[in-house]
Amino acid sequence: MAMEQIAQASLDQIFLNARTHSNWQDRKIDPGTLQKVYDLMKWGPTSGNCCPLRILFVATPEGKDKLIPCMSKGNVEKTKTAPVTAVFAQDMQFYEKLTKLAPHLKDAKAAYEGKEALIEETAFRNSSLQAAYFIIAARSMGLDCGPMSGFDKKKMDETFFAGTSWKSNFVCNLGYGVPDKVYPRAPRLDFDEACRTV
């Protein structure tokens, strides 16, 4: 079946009119919406279908009390007021799932075992890809997003992921933003500034 361009309204919602939000309406996210976003996002491609992204949804007052001390000063208030904060993490033992995820690849697990540099590179690249897919999926489901990298990674991992193989990558507030409290849109590079064809 031939692929066709999606409707302009969808492009507007996902990319052209979508903004990074820091101010949030007092409106909860239905937990079922988060599962719908995940169930859409999980189909995005990763190398060897390795799928290393793991997500911690911080949605309770108790969870926020633990999260806030991990955040940089400039990200505290926006995180406090967001209905949900997603901590995107990478599973450093993602290869343990490859017998399920990549049964077509012979010895997929063995290709990673004991190869720390390869594990680190693969986990970081592909969890970042998946987190970007999540943002696109969230926007497509009507949520606004506020991705951030300003946090204490060591404290985050000690607080939430101690004793696990998960390591934090970045954080994203989720909810329904206040449209009139976004900054003017910053410019982007033109095609000829950012792209080459050979």
What are the structure tokens assigned to 72, written together?
């940089």
Residue 196 has pLDDT above 90, yes or no: yes
User: Which residue segment(s) compose the domain that 105 sits in?
Assistant: 9-175
Structure confidence by residue, pLDDT tens digits, 23-51: 999 999 998 999 999 999 999 999 999 99
CA distance 15 to 139: 9
Classify burial at 101, counting beta carbons within 10 Å of its beta carbon; exposed 0-12, middle 13-18, buried 19 or more.
middle
Question: Which of 116, 128, 111, 149 has its CA nearest to residue 54?
Answer: 128
Question: Which of 63, 106, 109 has its CA nearest to residue 82?
Answer: 63
Q: What is the pLDDT of residue 9?
A: 97
Residue 118 has pLDDT above 90, yes or no: yes
Is residue 124 within 8 A of residue 118, CB to CB? The reply is: no
Q: What is the pLDDT of residue 2?
A: 82
Q: What is the pLDDT of residue 105?
A: 86
Residue 137 inside a domain? The answer is yes
CA distance 54 to 86: 10
Residue 189 inside a domain? The answer is no
The CATH number assigned to the domain holding 84 equals 3.40.109.10
Residue 184 inside a domain? The answer is no
Structure confidence by residue, pLDDT tens digits, 10-21: 999 999 999 999
Is 166 in a helix, a strand, or coil? strand
CA distance 180 to 106: 53
Residue 145 inside a domain? The answer is yes
pTM of the shown model: 0.95
Is residue 22 within 8 A of residue 78, CB to CB? The reply is: yes
Residue 169 has pLDDT above 90, yes or no: yes
Q: How many domains does the chain have?
A: 1
Residue 190 inside a domain? The answer is no
Residue 125 inside a domain? The answer is yes
Residue 96 has pLDDT above 80, yes or no: yes
Largest interatomic CA distance in the chain: 54
Residue 194 inside a domain? The answer is no
Is 113 in a helix, a strand, or coil? coil
Residue 3 inside a domain? The answer is no
